Amino acid sequence: MSEPFDLLIRGATAVTESGTIPCDLAVRDGRIAALGNSPGPARDVIDATGLLLLPGGVDAHCHIDQVSSTGLRTADDFFTGGVSAACGGTTTFIPFAAQHRGQSLRRVVADYHARAEPRAFIDYAFHLIVSDLSEAVLREELPALIREGYASLKVYMTYDALRLTDRQVLDVLAVARREGALTLFHAENHDAIAWLTARLLAEGKTSPKHHAAARPPEAEREATARACMLAGLADAPILIVHVSCGGALDEIRSARARGVTVYAETCPQYLLFTAADLDRPGFEGAKWMFSPPPRDLEAQAALWTALADGTLDIFSSDHAPYRFDDPEGKKAHGENAPFHRVPNGVPSLELRLPLLFSEGVARRRISLERFVALTATNPARLYGLYPRKGCIRVGADADLAVWDPRRETSVTQWALHDRMDYTPFEGLRLEGWPVITISRGEIVWMNDEVRGEPGRGRFIPRVPEPLAPQEP
């Protein structure tokens, strides 16, 4: 008789991108070993009757222990961020190794590994952020790193310290295409934002609410169109991160119709907030400052349509945790810093899945299968983690979320596991929460308790997919 399985999850309803079926799941050596009806005895058994069994979430956009160009560090490290992710059903994330001008990209990657390895709680990969395109970076470091498993990189079209020119973007796209990496775009028009910001400041309009007027949908739409055009010229696949408005979605649809390979992401904050959230007494609105900024109800409706119809491929947190009352946080440049000096970003690593489940599945805006595709399967596929991550199939890592679709929660910061001192989602009522999270066969979250040590998470190198040489 063969050895018993390590773990058996019995009686669950398993959900994949293509269907929902009752089944038992057995785990051996950290992987899914069998699926079906009573696959055999196991050392540990979880009765998941009445619960959903989902692939563990893959969060493809979060800023963990990331240092900004001005030296500010995001509040979560690879342990607190990983714990927070796991408590919300996410078992893999892809933070950034962010290069600043004058830095060697290879050195940057080594530094992020040094911070991640001893602290990681869940499995992780890295996107590169490329801001200094020296000859050494473009010709040697970037191609070599892509081949070593860093198969995606982010470029910025705005921010003085980060942005690349269109010509530099084309250089990056050519390398990414040849080496098989996916290029992510922060798409906002730099000059339009600079011009609007200067005008607002000159009029004395410095409070957080003016952040939205300084970065209007037109700036995002134009940059999205340009990113798609550059991708078409270079014949390279791209992904537009944090899409916030209908105009950008229209540009993505039209680029796809022309044959450009462009993928798209949105994030929780664009579904739940509007520019009105920035308009609060004093500096309070800074808690809702992120870029692109929140828009309006029409934009939210356009994003919901795009999540359902496939225009949007992935749903990520864009967890960029800057505490409110902290010299490294929102008040880094003073309690009344003008809007353009406030660190951008909000936390949502832990809430990403529950928010989309509650607002999307429970309210029947998207199907359960689409929820799984957006939060786990698609990001795993697009970023080279599939089929090891993001799916329920024999041979995949046993990364799973046992989900109670009926569990009701009211969001409150003290119950979350990140290092933040606020959540912009405070008070929101949610339906559905993961009651057990399993990472490579180990239970890391159960009965509202975290289990596991810093350093248990592993780096997952990804295999790049080079395209055939371009016709001259």
Contact criterion met (CB below 8 Å) for 202 and 169: no
Which residues does 313 contact at the CB level (< 8 Å), separation at least 6?
239, 263, 264, 265, 374, 378, 382
Distance CA 220, CA 293 (A): 10
Residue 12, exposed/middle/buried by CB under 10 A (0-12, 13-18, 19+)? buried
Indicate the residue whose CB is closest to Zn ion.
186
Using CA atoms, how far residue 243 sits from 184, 221, 246, 350, 374, in Å, is: 12, 9, 9, 20, 14
One residue of 186, 389, 417, 440 binding Zn ion per CB under 5 A: 186
Q: 96: closest CA among 370, 345, 396?
A: 345
**Smallest distance, Å, CB 84 to ligand DUC?**
17
The entry of Zn ion, ligand DUC, none near residue 344 (CB within 5 to 8 angstroms by kind) is ligand DUC
318 is a site residue for ligand DUC (CB under 6 A): yes
Neighbours of 228 (CB within 10 A): 24
**Smallest distance, Å, CB 2 to ligand DUC?**
48
**Amino acid identity, position 418:** D
The entry of Zn ion, ligand DUC, none near residue 374 (CB within 5 to 8 angstroms by kind) is none
**Smallest distance, Å, CB 461 to ligand DUC?**
23
Peptide bond into 39 cis (omega under 30): no
One residue of 6, 65, 318, 397 binding Zn ion per CB under 5 A: 318
Interacting residues with ligand DUC between 76 and 135 (CB under 6 A): none
Choose between 68 and 80: whose C-beta lies nearer to ligand DUC: 68
One residue of 244, 311, 344, 358 binding ligand DUC per CB under 6 A: 344
Distance CA 396, CA 393 (A): 6
Contact criterion met (CB below 8 Å) for 292 and 242: yes
The entry of ligand DUC, Zn ion, none near residue 142 (CB within 5 to 8 angstroms by kind) is none
Contact criterion met (CB below 8 Å) for 421 and 324: yes
One residue of 5, 124, 126, 290 binding ligand DUC per CB under 6 A: 290
Choose between 246 and 345: whose C-beta lies nearer to ligand DUC: 345
Q: Which listed range, 23-31, 181-189, 204-212, 247-255, lies at the site for Zn ion (CB under 5 A)? A: 181-189
370 is a site residue for Zn ion (CB under 5 A): no
- For CA atoms 290, 296, 297, 303, the dihedral sign is negative
Show the binding pattern over residues 141-160: x = contacts ligand DUC (CB under 6 A), - = does not.
--------------------
**Smallest distance, Å, CB 242 to Zn ion?**
6
The entry of Zn ion, ligand DUC, none near residue 290 (CB within 5 to 8 angstroms by kind) is ligand DUC
Choose between 339 and 403: whose C-beta lies nearer to Zn ion: 339
Distance CA 144, CA 316 (A): 27
Helices vs strands, H then E, count in the chain: 14, 19
Contact criterion met (CB below 8 Å) for 332 and 72: yes
- For CA atoms 53, 399, 414, 365, the dihedral sign is negative
β-strand pairing of 90-93 with 57-59: parallel
**Smallest distance, Å, CB 64 to ligand DUC?**
12
291 is a site residue for ligand DUC (CB under 6 A): yes
Choose between 42 and 162: whose C-beta lies nearer to ligand DUC: 162
Choose between 188 and 399: whose C-beta lies nearer to ligand DUC: 188
Q: 74: closest CA among 284, 332, 436?
A: 332
Q: Which listed range, 4-12, 103-111, 310-318, 350-358, lies at the site for Zn ion (CB under 5 A)? A: 310-318
242 is a site residue for ligand DUC (CB under 6 A): yes
The entry of Zn ion, ligand DUC, none near residue 330 (CB within 5 to 8 angstroms by kind) is none
Choose between 123 and 318: whose C-beta lies nearer to Zn ion: 318
Q: 265: closest CA among 149, 184, 157, 365?
A: 184
Distance CA 64, CA 62 (A): 6
Q: Which listed range, 1-9, 100-108, 185-193, 255-263, lies at the site for Zn ion (CB under 5 A)? A: 185-193
One residue of 320, 332, 398, 420 binding ligand DUC per CB under 6 A: 320
Choose between 119 and 186: whose C-beta lies nearer to Zn ion: 186
Q: Where are the beta strands (DSSP E) in 111-209?
A: 123-124, 127-129, 152-156, 182-186
One residue of 115, 127, 177, 186 binding ligand DUC per CB under 6 A: 186
Choose between 173 and 239: whose C-beta lies nearer to ligand DUC: 239
Choose between 332 and 366: whose C-beta lies nearer to ligand DUC: 332
215 is a site residue for ligand DUC (CB under 6 A): no
Could you list the residues that contact ligand DUC (CB under 6 A)?
A: 186, 241-242, 290-291, 318, 320, 344-345
Could you list the residues that contact Zn ion (CB under 5 A)?
A: 186, 318
